[in-house]
Structure 1
């Protein structure tokens, strides 16, 4: 049984970034009749007097003003109209109060500049669109800016890179609330691949690889079918009929991550599914996912997911009893 995830307040402002706004509404505001548990409530919150005109000439009707932020468990800042413009009166204080009472804050793309202005990101990791990361670091030197990732989860605050990376950040929050199985179901409805990890590069200088995509896809599928084996990069390179050096370069060009990082992601994604859907011992799951010891599996799982496997199963499992591990 999943707990109700509470109210998501999505900020609206004059000059609203429509794509980023649409991402938040699609993920948190769309009805989910396929689920038999409470989904997010959502409200559109005007942070200044109307009329609010979004990019593209759309007029936005909000559900209320900033008083709604007092009720929100999650607040989404979908971009920001200007990286240099001061925040509307009262918004900075409202965001700080929400953070103090435990609300989660999520910014998409340039929305990080609104968060930065509150001081809440000082001493924390954050990211934004690759075009703006240098500016963010120069203007707010107390923020630990990471220019090379899709999103940064610093606990109560999640910041994402450019526009589409906001989908990954929002799905990451869904995963924190509901687990991988539900998140993948949401991703399928969005007609997109399962959620990408935050550490994936946001900008790939050579997005079109000389290696045909179906060649790499074949190798990746081959590896997914053998995650229980102790695969190494040389095994994937051999399967692709390339030298290890050439394979490393082309894999990174095509995906933005190293084969080793991709394998780790696939192993842990499989582990999440097994922990959510079954009652196998942690030792068995570790072996099925290619880890040579349960200790190394636990360390890897906790470092990426933020919870030990036993706590993850307790939170997201489907209730099957597990014999003491």
Structure 2
């Protein structure tokens, strides 16, 4: 039984970090650097990104991002998500945690690496109005869409399953705007209301689209090639992401809030339990508030530099 549990933990770590070991090799390097970074202990970003709610948020963000035809074309034409979905996930997690917990130089380096990868991501697509267009992953409009869909997802999931955010939701949107600027987003939103207004502006303008390509992506996100031992928990987390979506976006994606006949399923409670189990297995946030390894590395850097940590 103990060997089965260890194998399950190893598979879980491989899924979310890209390594079967307890801590990915890049995490200890967050201790390096000569400044405090963009975000500090007690910040809204540390509160949100140090929570296991980020797992649900990641699924929701992928679903939302698929609704923009330009962003979807870039993923389908250039991403290796079918061949190596876990590698793409691990890379995204590394960027998020580096910007959240690393020094400013580490955050710039990680963001620059992603932007350089994007330089070759170009092609053509038909927008939601039937007009043929060219796309580039570093196009300001597409970068804005990805940033806002990300911010909306992480904030929404945390508001449902997370603890109170220092400074409230506006503080998280304002602080995470640093990440948007690092990725080339001009004047990212600085409040929850501004963020939701910009998100809904794409919807009102008819710039989002649901078609067979979106359905293909949704089907893949619903049933990714995970180890069999991880699938029951993932089903709950996917249901959580779906339940957290605004009804209009859920309808566009062809999804429904989980129900058993006429009764809604207890997704909130089931998700809270699932996230607690995953947190223990990953060695991250645990009952009692133990911090994850990325935050521990960041605090060691801060103490070395003379900051209270």
Task: Tell me if TM exceeds 0.5.
Answer: no
Under a length normalisation based on structure 2, what TM-score does the superposition of the two structures give? 0.25
Larger relative contact order (C-alpha < 8 A, sep ≥ 6)?
Answer: 2
Under a length normalisation based on structure 1, what TM-score does the superposition of the two structures give? 0.24
Q: Is the radius of gyration larger for structure 1 or structure 2?
A: 1
More helix by share: 2
More strand by share: 1
